[in-house]
Structure 1
């Protein structure tokens, strides 16, 4: 029964991820779903599968700063809850319970992207300086480039150019996805406004 419920929740999570998450974020969400299906502290068989799925997505969104508009993968809690047809309060509370039970925090290596992990991980240099992992990695790349010979430099330049091209393409896809999300939000607001106006008109007709 537990395995069956976990599978159902995972299918819901995956359906959301296909539309809004990157592959890396999707892997984080499914990893969390699998974890919840194996622990005893939280019983995934209790409660609606939609609430579990929404809460899992909510956790991943929160620890990866997806609710921040500056994030390339930005989304809102409304998008999550509308997709799964759940209430924001219920979803948020369940997400908090999951985080506390599994001790999930910012930079968690199981549920955060590489970018977030590196931003919140630190290394000590031989000189005793403490640096963010991301900064240390950039410094290492710079040292490699400076010490490379002509042939190696050419290969590095080609590699970096290709990486930049891929990042630009990924950025364009993220911008397009964000624009799509904004359109969806605008359409939902417009539809809600039309429905409210229709109700007002209906009440006015009854008064006549």
Structure 2
């Protein structure tokens, strides 16, 4: 189960993206926990759906990712998304 939670959090924080400074190989995670990719991906998806974990989640996003959030420069006014004024 630990692997599924780690995978879910790593996914929403782009940690499996090679362009990320905090990149972690999925193979390393799978080997550490001794799990298979298909099972891990499926269970991770279930966790993300159950707890409504998505990219840039305010409670589970690491600081480096939160700073790069493209929505930081946007706001909603009368139901319309607009860029914040500088």
Q: TM-score range by the shorter chain?
A: 0.7 to 0.9
- Counting helix residues as a fraction of each chain, which structure ranks higher? 1
Equivalent-residue separation in structure 1 for 2:63 and 2:22 (angstroms): 14
Gaps of 5+ in 1: 1-51, 140-208
**2:83 equivalent in structure 1:** 130
Query: How do 1:57-96 residues align onto structure 2 when only pairs under 5 Å count?
Result: 57-96=6-45
> Looking at both structures, which has the greater relative contact order when contacts are Cα pairs under 8 Å and sequence separation is at least 6?
2
When normalised by structure 1's length, the TM-score is 0.35
- Counting strand residues as a fraction of each chain, which structure ranks higher? 2
When normalised by structure 2's length, the TM-score is 0.78
Task: State the Cα distance separating 1:115 from its structure 2 match.
Answer: 3.0
Query: How do 1:163-178 residues align onto structure 2 when only pairs under 5 Å count?
Result: none
Gaps of 5+ in 2: 76-81
> Would you say 1:109 and 2:58 are equivalent positions?
yes
Find the structure with the greater CA-based Rg.
Answer: 1
Task: State the Cα distance separating 1:114 from its structure 2 match.
Answer: 2.3
Instruction: Please say if residues 107 and 120 of structure 1, whose CA atoms lie closer than 8 Å, have aligned partners that are also in contact.
Output: no
Task: State the Cα distance separating 1:77 from its structure 2 match.
Answer: 1.4
Equivalent-residue separation in structure 1 for 2:8 and 2:19 (angstroms): 18
Structure 1 counterpart SS, 2:11: helix
